[in-house]
Structure 1
C-alpha cells in the first residue's frame, strides 16, 4: 500500500485551517500550526512532503516562511503553496520571488487545491524516477530549485572524487559537507528517494555508463577502475539498476552513433 504524503498546513485562521485539514486528511497525513515560527520549529523534527501556508499571519508571514524554507538546505526541496486573499499580479510575483511553487487565491475550490498538491507531488516523483532509471541523467535534474541543484552537484562531485576509496562512506560525506549524518540522510532521501549509500552506488553506475559511451574502456577495465570486486558483480549491479547489461548498453550507444 502506498504511503500517504505528509503535509503541513500553516494558517492563523483556525476555522479555515480545520476546514482544509479535514478535506485533505483522507488522502494525506496532515499536521497544522498557526504561524510561521511554529512551522519552522516543526521542520526541525519532522519530515514533510509539501507545505501549504497562508500569507497574512502574525509574527512571521507566509512570504518570510517560504523564504526561510527555500534558503535552508535541509528544507529547500519541500514544495510550498501560498494561499492569499490578495489577487493582484504584484502579490503573485512577490510570492514566486520568495520561492513559492504555487500560488492560490482565496476563496478557492478544495478540488483545485487537491489538484495543485497532486500535480506538485507527481511531477517530483516523475523526475526522481527518470533520474534513477536513466543511466545518463544528470543528478541536478532532480533539484527543485537552484539551492537543491547546487547541493546535488556538490554531492555528485564528492562521490566522484572518492569512487576509488573503499573507506568512503556516509559519515565521511557528512564530514565534508559539515552536516550531521541524520540531516544528510534525510535531505538525500527526500530529494532523490534514495539512501546515501544507494546514491553512492547509483553515482558509480552512472559513471560507468558515461565511460561506456566513450567507448575507450572494456567492461572489466571499468569494473576495476570503479572499485568493483569483479566484472560479474559490476554487470549484475548495472543490470539490476538500469534493466540492461553493460554490454547491451554499450551496443545501444554504438547504434546511436
Structure 2
C-alpha cells in the first residue's frame, strides 16, 4: 500500500538475474510473471566477475545491494539533530497514504513544524492559510497529483519561492525529469531514507538563511542574487523600480506600494518577507538609505537636501533614522567616507 512494491520486486528479480513479464487487459486485470534462473552457476559466474573486475560499471550495479532496502538511519538522524538546529521553518507534507504521511510528520517534527495534506488540492488550501518553507509531496495521489501541485506552486507568484521535494516510487529518469521540469527542487525515489530527506531539508533552509544574512549585511538589493526563479526575480526588480521611482515621495506608503505592484498589502508583505527576510517598510527603507549613502558620499548635496531627495520630511528625522540604520549620523558618515 506504500507504492513501492513493484519497484522492490523489480530490483530483487534483477539481483537474481531474472525478468518480469506483464500481461494486462483493461477491465479484466493484470498478470505479472516472474522468471528466475535455476542454474546456480549463473550466481557463481557473476560473483567471479565482480571480484575480478572492480571497474566503474560494476560499481554502478553494486548499488543494488541490501543497503538499498535496509538503511540504518538512526545514527545519521541523531547526528542531524545534534547540529544545533532548533525548530524553525514549516514543512508541508502532502501524501495520500495515512501511514506514510504520519511517519514523515512524526520524523520531521523533531526539527521542524509540520503541516499535513492528503492530496494536492488540500495542499493548496493549506498554502492559503499558512506560511510554508518547504513542501514534501508524493506524486501519485487522488484529486490532484504531486506534479500538478508542483506546477501550481511554481506558477503562482505567491508561492513560487517555496522549494518542492518530490518523493515517488516512479524512479525512472523520465519521471524524475517530468518533476524537475515542473520546477521541483529535488526528486527522491522511494524507498527513501528519512535521514537523507531531513538533511536535504536542512541544507535547503541553511542555504536560504545564509543568503538572507548576506542580503541583510549588504546595502544593495540585487534580485538575481537572492531569488531562485524568474518570477521572483522579476517581482523584486519591479518592486525596486517602483521604490526608486517614488524615492523623493514623502507620502509614499505601503498601501500605494502594494497598489502599484497590483497586490494586496498583506500579500506584498508576505512575499517580500519570504524573498528578503524583511517587511515592506524595511524593504523601502533599505533602498532609500542605500541611495542616501551614495548621495552623501558624492558630496554635492547637504544633509538636508539628501533627506528630501530620499523621501524624509525633515532633516532631523532623517538623521535619527540614518543613525539607527548605519550606527552613525549622516555628518559622521561623510567624514568616514572622505577619510
TM-score bucket of the superposed structures, by smaller chain: 0.7 to 0.9
Superposed CA offset, 1:137-190 (max 9, x none): 414422221111111111111111112112111111222222222222221222
Partner of 1:69: 153
RMSD: 2.6
What residue ranges of structure 2 are gaps of 5+ in the alignment? 1-84
**Aligned residue number for residue 110 of structure 2:** 26
Which has more radius of gyration?
2
Q: CA 1:108/1:212 → structure 2, altered by over 3 Å: closer, same or farther?
A: farther
Name which of structure 1's ranges 223-232 and 167-176 shifts more when overlaid on structure 2.
223-232
Q: Does 1:17 align with 2:110?
A: no
The answer for the alignment partner of 1:160 in structure 2 is 244
| Alignment match, 1:180 | 264
1:149 aligns with 2:233: yes
Equivalent position of 2:91 in the other structure:
7
Verify the 8 A CA contact 2:295 2:301 in the aligned structure 1: no
Unaligned runs of 5+ in 1: none
Match 1:114 to one of 198, 210, 221: 198
The answer to whether residue 280 in structure 2 is matched with residue 196 in structure 1 is yes
For 2:86 and 2:334, how far apart are their aligned partners in 1? Answer: 35
Higher relative contact order (CA 8 A, sep 6+): 1
TM-score, scaled relative to structure 2: 0.67
Q: How far 1:92 moved relative to its partner?
A: 2.4
Distance 1:96 1:254 in 2: 51
Kept in 1, the 8 Å contact 2:137–2:164? The answer is: yes
Deviates more, 1:31-40 or 1:89-98: 89-98
Q: Structure 1 pair 66/247, CA: closer, same or farther in 2 (3 Å)?
A: farther
Pair 1:130-2:214 in alignment: yes
Does the Cα contact within 8 Å between 2:158 and 2:267 map onto a contact in 1? Answer: yes
Query: How far off is 1:68 after superposition?
Result: 0.4
The number of aligned residues is 254
- SS of aligned partner of 2:288: helix
> Shift in Å at residue 86 of structure 1?
2.5
Report the secondary structure of 2:248's partner residue.
coil
Q: TM-score, normalised by structure 1?
A: 0.87
Q: Hey, what's the Cα distance between the residues in 1 that align with 2:150 and 2:209? A: 22
